[in-house]
Amino acid sequence: MKPHPRTPLLYKNFEEAFNYGGALNVVQNLYIQKSSMFKVFKHRRLNYLGYIGNLESGRDILEDFSKTRRFIQTYFEMGAKNAAYVFDDADIDLAVESIIGATMLNSGQSSSSIHRVYVDSSVYELFLEKAYNLISTYSIGDPMNENTKLGPIALPDVTIYLKQLVNDAVHNGASIVYGGSPVPDINGKGRFFEPTLIRECHKDMEIMYKEFSGPILPVCSVDNDIEAIELINNSQFGICAALFTKDISKAKELAKQVK
């Protein structure tokens, strides 16, 4: 397992856990540069290649691996624009708690984070009110502090990009309900972005179709299930989606239509 250079110790925990359980040398955390991966690709003991990351690096890795002229199984998970849909009959408290939690997970830098939500127009204002009440409680600071709810942004240029997306949304008619800017912590240190809630979003805004990693939730009002599913599927990125309704049969039926 080779982690991102920004998180070199990530898979060390996996390695230690397997060793502790008696499965010695099953998992190895590779402290190597991306340029050294070709040597790993050529190793005959390698019979499966999995990759999680951005599209550009994925292309580079697949191109490098093809030069080995080997045929093994591969798995590539590249890009995420996860969506949620809140039906008119949803448990709004549960929906808000779940969606905000997923949006703010790892400061929005997780591949399973929710980064766009579609809410039935009949419960739109209620959803925004409850989302504001919850998101405004998220404190920024040192992730090692037990009182911190939102840690820093890993890469240095991401906060600038996030601000550009927010500005584009506002320029195209959205309104910031909470947050919206890069900030330091209370001691004036660190690279953070405020927990952010944006309303009146629509599909033509960059924040609704471009991939990003940050604690931002753009909210779009929809009039019916068909519109919601069409908007969820209006993305080149996949990975996961969430539907919130008390009608299990309806959820199962519409889940089949989500790409």
Q: Which two tokens stand for residue 200?
A: 């009146």
For the chain, the straight-line distance linking the first and the last C-alpha, in angstroms and rounded, comes to 29
The answer, yes or no, to whether residue 106 has pLDDT greater than 80, is: yes
Mean pLDDT across the stretch 132-144? 94
What pLDDT score was predicted for residue 80?
Answer: 86
Are 241 and 258 within 8 A, CB to CB?
A: yes
36 secondary structure, DSSP code:
G
Q: Calculate the alpha carbon distances from 167 to 164, 170, 199 in Å.
A: 5, 5, 13
Q: Which two tokens stand for residue 27?
A: 């998992």
C-alpha–C-alpha distance, residues 109 and 7, integer Å: 13
List pLDDT tens digits, range 47-82. 899 998 888 888 988 998 999 988 899 998 888 899
Residue 73, Cβ density class (10 Å: 0-12 exposed, 13-18 middle, ≥19 buried): exposed
Confidence of residue 209 (pLDDT cuts 50, 70, 90): very high
The answer, yes or no, to whether residue 170 has pLDDT greater than 90, is: yes
C-alpha–C-alpha distance, residues 130 and 108, integer Å: 19
Are 150 and 140 within 8 A, CB to CB?
A: yes
What pLDDT score was predicted for residue 53?
Answer: 82
The answer, yes or no, to whether residue 111 has pLDDT greater than 90, is: no
**Phi–psi pair at 168, nearest 5 degrees:** -65, -40
**Phi–psi pair at 38, nearest 5 degrees:** -60, -35
C-alpha–C-alpha distance, residues 182 and 160, integer Å: 8
- The Cβ of residue 88 has, within 10 Å, a number of other Cβ atoms equal to 13
Among 67-81, 160-174, 238-252, the least confident range: 67-81
What pLDDT score was predicted for residue 98?
Answer: 98
The answer, yes or no, to whether residue 153 has pLDDT greater than 80, is: yes
Given the structure tokens 């959803």, which residue do they identify? Answer: 127
Mean pLDDT across the stretch 157-176? 97
What pLDDT score was predicted for residue 253?
Answer: 95
List pLDDT tens digits, range 7-26. 888 889 999 999 999 999 88
What pLDDT score was predicted for residue 31?
Answer: 87
Identity of the amino acid at 29: N
Superfamily of domain 83-255: Aldehyde Dehydrogenase; Chain A, domain 2 (3.40.309.10)
**Phi–psi pair at 100, nearest 5 degrees:** -65, -40
Q: What percent of the chain has pLDDT over 90?
A: 66
What pLDDT score was predicted for residue 216?
Answer: 98
Confidence of residue 43 (pLDDT cuts 50, 70, 90): confident
Confidence of residue 135 (pLDDT cuts 50, 70, 90): very high
Are 30 and 7 within 8 A, CB to CB?
A: no
Mean pLDDT across the stretch 226-253? 93
What pLDDT score was predicted for residue 24?
Answer: 92
